[in-house]
A = this chain, B = another copy of it.
Amino acid sequence: MSLFRPNIDQMQGYVPGEQPQEKDWIKLNTNENPYSHSPRVAEAIEKAARSRLNVYPDPLVKSFREEASKLFNVDPDWILPANGSDENLTILVRSFVDPGEVISYAYPSYVLYESLAEIQGCPCERLLLNEDWSWDLDRVQPQVDKSKLLFVPNPNSPSGTLWDDETLIKLIPPKGILVLDQAYGDFCDSPDKGSLIKGEHGAQVVITRTLSKSYSLAGIRFGFSIAQPDLIAGMRKVKDSYNCNTLSIAAATAAMQDQEWMQKNARRIQVTRERLTLALRLLGFDVQDSQTNFVWATHPKRDHEQLYQELKARRILVRFMKFPDTINGLLTGLRITVGTDTEIDTFLEKLKEII
């Protein structure tokens, strides 16, 4: 006899990308930044290591909120820090969606949203994107209308594409919340500074951000939500009191203070991204123009899973992705993180051998 909730028993659990602990892999599978974190971050952590770790962290995380609020030109009470962006997504579900209410999300995108719905005990609807990653707003309207929480990664994964505000406004559920998951926001040509949360629809929009990608800090687990203060205040009741720790707060605050470091790396990644895109096209792949630190590549003639396996045999990891129920049925492809120039050179070299 299982004592677990039936929905927990039935679910598979989200499977994150492979994380080999050996260091000789070229890891292009989980959208990590190939460049190191800022030296100012390392210094801040070292200082914190010798500080009073015997006491609880600041539950309000003031230092970080002040830095983040400057970037978005809002007050600090618009910011809610969390133990990674994933925790923010969990907090959103637990704040806004009663069991039985509908969670929906752009599909194909981040399938973790579906796991969060399963845990909460909610039906989850996929809002099918067109083949070119655009929206058919007429088609999804009935689903938007019944959503309590609607997740849109912008830019999207795995496509790397970006939707404009005009489109996004039409995705706000009449009686619900639109979550713009901007995990990859800093890699855009023109990063968003929170236009929708500040406008007339602001009471129904929450932005989530992470330091994992652009700040090269996947290891410290730090993300934050940005929204109007009423929304943030309610979400704060749901989170654990001390959800961020003294070390990660010190690191995240220092990272925000070194914008130059982050932007320099983002620019390098943008340049490598263009080169990778062109090279893949020359090898016969269809590649989306990307606004992120990865590209989505499909090959009209090759089996994507086999390509993934052959690369893996050469100690190169990319993400083989499989979306069963898109507008055209099964969609498979490779999501390839933009690594360093050396990593991408090696990747392209091995790929040429295989193709």
Q: Which A residues are closer than 8 A to B by beta carbons?
A: 1-6, 8-9, 11-14, 16, 19, 21, 23, 27, 30, 32-37, 41-42, 45-46, 48-59, 62, 83-84, 86-87, 90, 94-99, 119, 121, 148, 175-177, 204, 212, 216-221, 234, 236-238, 240-248, 251
* A35 neighbours in B (Cβ, 8 Å): 54
A84 close to B13 (CB less than 8 A):
no
CB-CB nearest in chain B for A33: B54
CB-CB nearest in chain B for A247: B247
CA distance A15 to B238 in the complex (A): 12
CA distance A143 to B4 in the complex (A): 20
B55 close to A237 (CB less than 8 A):
no
Most buried by B among A50, A83, A175: A83
Q: In angstroms, how far is the closest chain B Cβ from the Cβ of A232?
A: 12
| Copy count, this protein chain | 2
Residue of B32, B41, B119, B247 touching A55 (CB-CB under 8 A): B32
Main secondary structure of the interface of A (DSSP, over half): loop
CA distance A4 to B96 in the complex (A): 5
CB-CB nearest in chain B for A240: B86
List 4 additional contacts besides A8-B234, A83-B243; criterion CB under 8 Å.
Answer: A19-B55, A41-B49, A41-B53, A54-B218
* A248 neighbours in B (Cβ, 8 Å): 245, 247-248
* A177 neighbours in B (Cβ, 8 Å): 3
Residue of B3, B21, B57, B247 touching A96 (CB-CB under 8 A): B3
A237 close to B8 (CB less than 8 A):
yes
A27 close to B45 (CB less than 8 A):
no
Residue of B9, B12, B99, B242 touching A86 (CB-CB under 8 A): B242
